[in-house]
Amino acid sequence: MTVVRPVTDLRAVRAVLFDMDGTLVDSDAAVERAWRTWAAEYGVDPERVIRVGHGRPSWDTIREVCPDLDDAENVRAGTRQLELQHTDLADVVATPGAHRLLASLTLPWAIVTSADRRLTAARLGAAGITPPEVVITIEDIVRGKPDPDGYLQAAAALGVPPEECLVVEDADAGLAAARTAGARTAALRGLAGDVPIGTLDDLVPLLTG
């Protein structure tokens, strides 16, 4: 395993805020299948939907790719997209290093996700991850990522200032939300963060050693 040298001093970190899909839970295939089915039903280019939708609430993605839908139609379309995800858990598993990191973590932690409560519970269950006390879903906030609302709520619920939190993300929208909240960032998928990581295993010596 390659040891990652942090750009920022993680000794000041007092809490960890995780994104769920693509960060703690590998649900990429299920998410893509749901979007492809939805795109076929709504006559939308599936490649564009998949490209712009990663890490964002379904309704925000739909508003961008289907700007002619009114608010009620947007809600119906977003609800349909989530329904497709609710029933597809066939290959949903924990991401590499997730179980090891969570088992070794002594800091308080939370999950901030663009999924709804039902989908969050289903995917964490499929991945064998016991949810923490603080889980912020799309139903708990007014504006989803890249707005910082979810991460600010999670930090407040843990009683830790955002600037003393490390946000672990795999999407540009989530990293933007974390930066706006004032948090440090650990970035997967080769994205730019204060701490670039290959897998969650890379955070184990940085947060527990």
Active site residues: 19, 21
What number of residues does the chain have?
A: 209
24 C-beta neighbours (distance < 10 Å), count:
27
Who's near 138: CB < 8 A, 6+ residues apart?
A: 57, 113, 114, 115, 116, 144
Structure tokens at 198: 């290959």
Residue holding tokens 């893509």? 32
Q: CA-to-CA distance for 180 and 194, rounded, in angstroms?
A: 14
Pairing of strands 165-169, 15-18: parallel
The answer to whether the beta carbons of residues 184 and 165 sit under 8 Å apart is yes
